[in-house]
Amino acid sequence: MIAVIGSSNIDMVINVDDFTLPGQTQKGLELSYYPGGKGANQAVTAKSLGRDVLFLTCLGNDGNAQMMKRELEAIDLGNGIRYVDSPNGVALIEVSRSGENRIIVYPGANSRLSPDIIDDSRESLLKADILLLQNEIPFESSLYAAKLFNEAGKTVIFDPAPSSGIDKSILQYVDIITPNETEMAELTGHNLGIEDATAKLHEMGCGNVLLKRGNKGIFFSGRSKSLVVPAFKVRAVDSTAAGDVFNGAFACSLDRGLDLRVSLRYASAAAALSVTRRGAQKSVPRNEEIESLLGE
């Protein structure tokens, strides 16, 4: 079983030719609304790929929250929802024709996911063997959850996104940290190469570093070995949630008992497929599609 503690947002996505420049006004090509949030994206991925998942999240008191509730309950992920008196979380996403994105997140109800709420769900959460965390809820809550699962001997996977406001003390409770290149630089220093940055994270206490490098593939560094997994070549349409799909699929493969290299390739294939379609949770591929791409 996989536990996910994290955010639920409604993604307001506007497609443009190129990113809007400071002082520039341009017409959008398309406006769409999708269920999103890093926590929800990872939970939906893991659930869609066949694992038992408990998703602890906070929803607000508005129409966006009702939309999110319907989406989560439709795939049997409503058992960990907590409702708070606040607008729901929202992400404003600009997507260029090349498939790149820029995102502004308004946390809303996500900011109310407190350590007390986690503690109230302790018994149910600790039935899971793997915990997925991100950084779109209060950091003190992520730290509390990481310590709780670490002390229970569970596997903690932490996605440091967004990378602001992270206290490095969390790393001693994290088994695998999964930054992208921007987040890695913000955590360790902008002038470090991959190996030096990875070594710095190890020194801070994290045993395993999984660096997501987009179309350049995956670099994994553990205390005893390193692995490089090439990216799958696809035509990108929208990279929104690709990292979340990766984390959800990676946790699924580990939860099935598969080894590290197999799990990294499986997650890489899932993320590659996700960028070929629009939206966050709507872009999660089926297991058969992943296996087909791996077979190619």
Strands 130-133 and 176-177: unpaired
Question: Is residue 244 annotated as part of the catalytic site, yes or no?
Answer: yes
Query: Token pair for residue 63?
Result: 């129409």
Q: How many CB atoms lie within 10 A of CB 250?
A: 29
CB 26 within 8 A of CB 231: no
Does the bond joining 162 to the residue before it have cis omega, within 30 degrees of 0?
A: yes
The residue annotated as part of the active site, out of 11, 159, 244, 255, is 244
Query: Token pair for residue 105?
Result: 């997140």
- 3-state secondary structure (DSSP) of residue 101: strand
Dump the DSSP string for 183-247.
HHHHHH-TT--HHHHHHHHHHTT-SEEEEE-GGG-EEEE-SS-EEEEPPPP---S--TTHHHHHH
Residues annotated catalytic, as ranges:
244
